[in-house]
Amino acid sequence: MTRAGLAVAALVAVIGLWKASFVAGASDAFGYVSEADLIAHGRLSIDQQFVRTLPWPFADWSFAPAGYRPGVQRGVIVPTYPAGVPLIMALFQRVGGRTAVFYVVPILGGVCVWVAGMLARDLQHDAAGLAVAALLATSPIFLVELMAPASDVAATCWWTIAFAAAVRLTTISAVTSGLAAAMAVLTRPNLVLLDAAIAVFLAARAAAAPAADRRQSVRRLLAFVAFAAMGCAVVAGLNTVLYGAPLRSGYETLDALFAWSNARANFARYPRWLMQTQTPFIATGLIAPWIVPAQMGRAGDRTPVLWLLIAWVAVVCGSYLFYRPFGADEWTYLRFLLPAYPALLTLTVVTVFVGLRRLVADSRRATALAIALCAIMAGWQLRKSIALGVFAARTIERRYVDVGHYVQTMLPLDTICIARLHAGSLRYYGERTTLYYDWLQPGWLDAAVRELGARGYHPVIVVERDEEPGFRARFGAFNALGRLDWPPSAELASPVDVRIYDPAERRRFLDGDRIATRAIEPWQRFR
């Protein structure tokens, strides 16, 4: 497993660096990358005091793009996303510049694949470890998130390290597990119950240890708890500074996010998405504790580890069973369950290897069959990933850079972009203030444009073609500008149609003047 697993992990990192979007585009990507930029410059807020005097409702929210919200202090916006990934990105940015932030997720993805393989190797043998590494590396949702500068792969990596280190039952591994768990909580705080799962496992092993070894087992438990608690303390401190209370996050309140009634919709979606992208093969591991003999692997009795793996999957899935369902029936929301994938795949592979060994007397033939079955599944997953377009991220996402670069070079410094999907990327690439129109009340578009113009700003409207019907439906009945009934001043035709409308040109167009639409050319970086 060692050399082959490292090769698979390295290949994952290379593919991530080669095919990843490298774009701070929609809300998640912009949110994490821009937060890293703030941290790299020694701050965690953006000051925009002018919004305090604007007349429309929720003016402070309307100047907070997705990924940000108004802070405790008025006239300031702060990031909504946890700081774990941005902290690492900021370190990379300080060393290698802005582009270096996009190296973080592919590198952590490679580490995650390697550690997941090592976990399976410890439970079974080298071939099982390689199978888990290959199955995780070809999983459609893992590859989708490997291409995005977000937190899902990072959280999966840190939690997998925490798990794999904890089950090795040494003092060094307990410290490693605690540090990884601290980073995991900084990255995905809502999975903090996984800390409890590891702590219970270590406590149970300490209770079952011989009297001569019990003191050392307790020390391991305390070491894990002490280091893991640091992550919780940092999260509580950041929450207090940014949002006003230790248990208040950048997201909505817990009662708004979680409800018993959400279980029905989520239970109808997540298992179906899982079967569609992974096949029922991935669920076979849930019977592992009843199939796998107690004495096995490199460290003796692995039954407690198998039950910890089951608990791990249950905690992750349970954390999102009652989470508010998203409107779109979109399989990529499996990313929330990604931290459970290494555990689930490990259970599955160990069950397959042991089950075939029981059915086939010849151990070499049984191992060969298990390897072949896992290879077939990995090949199927890779084909599924390609069919789902997971490697097209850079081509699709580059529109955010193209439009942002156009705004940055062609529009005046006093431009304010009224946008939704591009509200964040226009700040990052275009270096212009943006108004997030989801927070602008339907009757206020014309008045907001007049008010901003009177204050010396130059408002423009930036929308993708698919956004235009929704924009017109929201604002068209109450605002002349909401109809978008004049030609755009600039347009990007490919890979996605994006248009920039200048409200100052509407009156000229209605008076009979011809409005020339400038073509937005792809930025040189992507040629």
Q: Which of 359, 316, 348 is nearest to 119 (CA)?
A: 348
> Mind listing the pLDDT tens digit of every residue in the chain (527 residues)?
567 778 899 999 999 999 888 999 888 999 999 999 999 999 999 999 999 999 999 999 999 999 999 999 889 999 999 999 999 999 999 999 999 999 999 999 999 999 999 999 988 888 999 999 999 999 999 999 999 999 999 999 999 999 999 999 889 999 999 999 999 999 999 999 999 999 999 999 888 878 777 888 899 999 999 999 999 999 999 999 999 999 888 887 877 788 888 999 999 999 999 999 998 988 888 888 888 776 555 545 678 888 999 999 999 999 899 998 887 778 999 999 999 999 999 999 999 998 888 888 788 898 899 999 999 999 999 999 999 989 888 888 999 999 999 999 999 999 999 999 999 999 999 999 999 999 999 999 999 999 999 999 999 999 999 999 999 999 999 999 999 999 999 999 988 999 999 999 998 998 888 988 999 988 765 43
* Number of C-beta neighbours around residue 229 at 10 A: 15
**Residue range 133-147, pLDDT digits in tens:** 999 999 999 999 999
The 10s digit of each residue's pLDDT in 172-194 is 999 999 999 999 999 999 999 99
What is the pTM assigned to this prediction? 0.93
Query: What gap in Å lies between CA 246 and CA 338, rounded to an integer?
Result: 26
State both tokens at 236: 């509580």
Give the position of tokens 């990313």: 335
Encoded tokens for 168: 């090795």
Half-sphere exposure (Cβ direction) of 26: Cα atoms closer than 13 Å: 9
Residue with the two structure tokens 């500074």:
241
Dist. CA 87–CA 329, nearest whole Å: 32
Residue 280's contacts (CB-CB under 8 Å, 6 or more residues apart) are: none
- Written in H, E and C, the secondary structure of 367-406 is HHHHHHHHHHHHHHHHHHHHHCCHHHHHHHHHHHHHHHHH
Q: Which residues pair with 499 in a beta bridge?
A: 463, 491
Residue 113 identity (one-letter amino acid): V
Q: 397 Cβ partners below 8 Å, 6+ apart?
A: 21, 23, 25, 26, 29
- Cα distance between the two ends of the chain: 39
169 phi-psi bin (left φ>0, alpha ψ -120 to 50, beta other): left
Residue 524: half-sphere exposure toward Cβ, Cα within 13 Å = 0
Alpha-carbon span 113 to 197, nearest angstrom: 22
CB 165 within 8 A of CB 120: no
Please state, in angstroms and rounded to a whole number, the distance separating the CA atoms of residues 308 and 202.
10
What is the Cα–Cα distance from 284 to 87, expressed in whole angstroms? 37
User: What is the DSSP code string of 193-262?
Assistant: HHHHHHHHHHHHHHHHS-HHHHHHHHHHHHHHHHHHHHHHHHHHHHHHHHHSSTT--SS--HHHHB-TTH
Question: Beta-carbon neighbour count of residue 162 at 10 Å?
Answer: 27
CB-based contact 351:290 (threshold 8 Å): no
Q: Give the mean pLDDT of the chain.
A: 91
Do 320 and 141 contact (CB within 8 A), yes or no?
Answer: no
